[in-house]
Structure 1
């Protein structure tokens, strides 16, 4: 049986999953003097003064805002969302983006998903808090939900929440993708897999 059989809800990452992103985290880390092997949000939270933390947040938000203005929907995003709507599967987004940048990306790309949680709402991925909050709001067991993303943190967050992890690799082969429950190349392949595993869509 496919891990996608009988799913009751779908949660998405945003950048690199539903929309394009040109954020260069290596460059941003260099600008912040953040070591490359340290998570950027953890680094900011550990800065000793409020002034330093605020300055770092301002830098990130500026980069995110610029990125949001140019972000385009990834191919087959709208057909996938339409399929999920046809299946009556609730959808949500959990992203490490700021609220402002997220709102811009959703509006510009006509993404009609009401339940959206950003890093201001809960501890950021790979923490499972946001995913578990959605499961609670939907009143569905976490094991019946899938979390779709394009990075290691997405896989880890799904695992930490007890959800099925779906990794979109965009035809690349990172070592960590083997940790995911389901691997697809793109959104079109995910749509096909969900339709095949849930015959009500036919």
Structure 2
């Protein structure tokens, strides 16, 4: 491990595939929307005429909402979030770790996903940033927006995700990066300060 969590009390999580078990078929979604398979969905939509993109965004929202309702929590997610933000902290609103979501999904779908997974209680609405709240990852804007709201500096933060864009956003923002890959293959390990195969590995370090 090349990073210490001792003074890092601002935790930012990707959602799909990180706090949830990944069930997205991104290539399948691209085929339904008629998008090229070699481009990320949001970037491909941004390259289309505005009217066409707007219609496809509506279709994307509907597809993602169906997935949201079927979402299940990643193994160890609730235990990790409880360790970071125990119930007595949340009830008293006293000082504790700050935790937020930074997702390329929409905000309503993110909230539906967290509700389906039983994790909604951990995240106030202002701590859930979606593609409609800021430029999507790999932009660092969402991380800085959360940190600004928490009056915190990047050296107090951790970005946890399962994909290249999560790690790139964290690196650009100056956050520590934790890379979850249950397969243990870690194709983007060079962008990670800590590669893990389960969220329980983080919980054990806190």
CA distance in 2, matches of 1:14, 1:176: 18
Match of 1:102 in 2: 110
Match of 2:92 in 1: none
Alignment pair present for 1:167 and 2:179: yes
Match of 1:113 in 2: 123
After TM superposition, the score normalised by the length of structure 2 is 0.88
Shift of 1:109: 2.3
Match of 2:22 in 1: 21
CA distance in 1, matches of 2:85, 2:153: 20
Alignment pair present for 1:184 and 2:196: yes
CA distance in 2, matches of 1:53, 1:164: 34
Residue pair 2:70, 2:116 contacting (<8 A) in 1 also:
no
Alignment pair present for 1:5 and 2:13: no
CA distance in 1, matches of 2:118, 2:30: 31
After TM superposition, the score normalised by the length of structure 1 is 0.90
Deviation per CA, 1:7-53: give whole Å up to 9, x if none.
Answer: 12111010011112311111111222322221210111110241x11
Q: Which runs of 5+ in 2 are unaligned?
A: 90-95
Secondary structure of residue in 1 paired with 2:85: helix
Q: Which runs of 5+ in 1 are unaligned?
A: 196-202
CA distance in 2, matches of 1:120, 1:49: 15
Shift of 1:79: 1.0
Moved more, 81-90 or 93-102: 81-90
Secondary structure of residue in 1 paired with 2:11: strand
